[in-house]
Amino acid sequence: MDVREYDNWIDGGWAGADRKVERKSPAHGRLLARFAQSDEQAVRAAVGAARKAFDTRSVWSSMPGAERAKALGHWVDLMTRDLERLALIEAEEVGKPIRFARAEIEWSIELARYAAALAWQLPGDLVSNIGDANLGLVTREPRGVIAMITPWNFPMVTLFQKLPFALAAGCTVVVKPSELTSGSTLEIAKLATEAGIPNGVINVVTGSGRTVGEILTGHRDVDMISFTGSTAVGIRIAQRAAEQVKRVGLELGGKAANIVFADADIDAALDGILLGYILNQGEECVQGTRLLVEDSVAESFLEKLVERSKKIRLGLPTDEDADVGALIHEKHMEQVLSYIESGLEEGATLLLGGNRVTENGLGMGYYVAPTIFSNVTPDMTIFREEIFGPVLAVTRFKSVEEAIALANDTNYGLGNGLWTKDIDKAIRVSRELRSGTVYVNTFLETAAQMPFGGLKQSGIGRENGLDGLLEFTEVKSTFIKLGKRTHALPHTLTTSARS
Ligand code: TXE
């Protein structure tokens, strides 16, 4: 297998770097790629290219929406052409099974297709009731140069919930992907140039967050920072942004609850709970990591869930039948195992898993067995903290009120799910759940038109949908006087008084 060598992508071409960071496979340890460890000069060049492309209005920011949509459409075609190649890069660098990587690229392309359509019709308002001789225009303009900082769990989807929307609005962009998974981001930036998106509109600088990320977020020519990652770094970024009164969009962690009522379609709920806790090895911000199950059905539900979970197949990224892949790196695996340890120490009952997996050729990778704890109480660490691994914490409840209180007993508010055949209960509970998304009788559903984002410490702002486009726009109010101006100036200052 060839090692992929990458530089930064700046102003429509590769820009070399003296220092490199290596990415080894979390699944089998082999070297996969080398990325640039960018310095201040590289970040300045990238922001400079984005600024110039934005300020030269005809290049992109004031191009007719239809033209931008056309260019984004060509880009979509090229990504579709290269889907398999992109999926393999994604699977290998993240450690996830190839079929999920494929689905991720397909979904990213879908988001780009939707955002391209939005470029046709940036909404605005005409205000006609401010007097006969006045007209108000409320228009939306692209925000400017956007710094996008993205994580390693879904390198493409987390980027595509931002990038095509910002481009559709007319912004230009500098992306700093995770230093662990930069390959697909660099590849799609190159494809953008091939598709005719002008130089400087998309730039990518790679390297560590603490150096490259900090330089980028502090750069005065960056108008907005759009970040997906941990809550701790999100807080840091919000502080940096505040120093220069920059806009921020933050998509941070989560601790979703999946509530199963006794009157649910139990088989459907089992599917949803299973997918919810193992998808992407549990490295997911809307992971259904807490199962709240009604006491009267809990025993039999858990028996079935454990039986089904035993069939989950762990495998290498290229294993077409694998359900769960490797965790992102050794330190993260150790952290997940230490959360499992805390569950045992704090008195939860281990029903399944709880260990690292090294059998069947997985010994060189960072695999953790699907793990289920029951008798979890709200004071336990595994109930409260984001684990980001295939670990499910189960808590029983006896009433609707108790279920709602348990679900909301968290600092996060990204997503929650509930399972019931009673429509009144479904609507009541979904209204009372404090999260940006609620899934009723389903889980991890997606649609490009549906906004995505969090309450509380899960973030600020929304991605996807029309809201996702508007995040990257500024509102401008323009007053237009019709006919003769009769403003209330002091008499002595009016034109007629002077003449
Ligand atoms: O994320 P970081 P990490 C959660 C999850 C996970 C934990 C740690 O719980 O276990 O975060 O993951 C860049 N200035 N999520 O440490 O550090 C960094 O280089 C500017 C949830 O990998 O937040 C990367 O590009 N940038 C989440 C990006 O921030 C900085 C997805 C995210 O890395 C920076 C990932 C700084 N000071 C992890 N420090 C989700 N919402 O899905 C780091 N970065």
Burial environment of residue 460 by CB neighbours within 10 A (0 to 12, 13 to 18, 19 or more)? middle
Index of the ligand 1 atom closest to the CA of residue 332: 10
Structure tokens at 166: 């910002």
CB-ligand 1 contact for 463 (6 Å cutoff)? no
3-state secondary structure the chain: CCCEECCEEECCEEECCCCEEEEECCCCCCEEEEEECCCHHHHHHHHHHHHHHHHCHHHCCCCCHHHHHHHHHHHHHHHHHCHHHHHHHHHHHHCCCHHHHHHHHHHHHHHHHHHHHHHCCCCCEEECCCCCCEEEEEEEEECCEEEEECCCCCHHHHHHCCHHHHHHHCCEEEEECCCCCCHHHHHHHHHHHHCCCCCCCEEECCCCHHHHHHHHHHCCCCCEEEEECCHHHHHHHHHHHHHCCCEEEEECCCCCEEEECCCCCHHHHHHHHHHHHHHHHHCCCCCCCEEEEEHHHHHHHHHHHHHHHCCCCECCCCCCCCCECCCCCHHHHHHHHHHHHHHHHCCCEEEECCCEECCCCCCCCCEECCEEEECCCCCCHHHHCCCCCCEEEEEEECCHHHHHHHHHCCCEECEEEEECCCHHHHHHHHHHCCCCEEEECCCCCCCCCCCECCEECCEECCECHHHHHHCCEEEEEEEEECCCCCCCCCHHHCHHHHC
pLDDT score, position 424: 98
Confidence of residue 493 (pLDDT cuts 50, 70, 90): confident
**230 CA to centre of ligand 1 in angstroms:** 4
From ligand 1's centre to the CA of 157, what distance in Å? 15
Q: Tell me which residues are annotated as active site.
A: 251, 285
Q: Is the CB of 234 under 6 A from ligand 1?
A: no
pLDDT, position 132: 86
Mutate to test the pocket of ligand 1, among 94, 149, 280 (most ligand atoms within 8 A of CB): 149
Residue with CA closest to ligand 1 atom 28:
151
Contact 8, 14 (CB under 8 A): yes
- Pocket flag, ligand 1, residue 238 (CB < 6 Å): no
Identify which has the larger pLDDT, 206 or 499: 206
Q: What is the pLDDT of residues 178-199, one digit of tens each?
A: 999 999 999 999 999 999 999 9
- For 427-475, write each residue's pLDDT tens digit: 999 999 999 999 999 999 999 999 999 999 999 999 999 999 999 999 9
The pLDDT of residue 484: 76
Tell me, what's the pLDDT at 163?
99
Structure tokens at 13: 């071409």
- Taking the centre of ligand 1 as the mean of its atom positions, its distance from the CA of residue 228, in whole angstroms, is 7
What is the tens place of the pLDDT at every residue in 301-326?
Answer: 999 999 999 999 999 999 999 999 99
pLDDT at 498 over 60: no
Question: How far does the centroid of ligand 1 lie from the alpha carbon of residue 42, in Å?
Answer: 21
- 217 Cβ below 6 A of ligand 1: yes
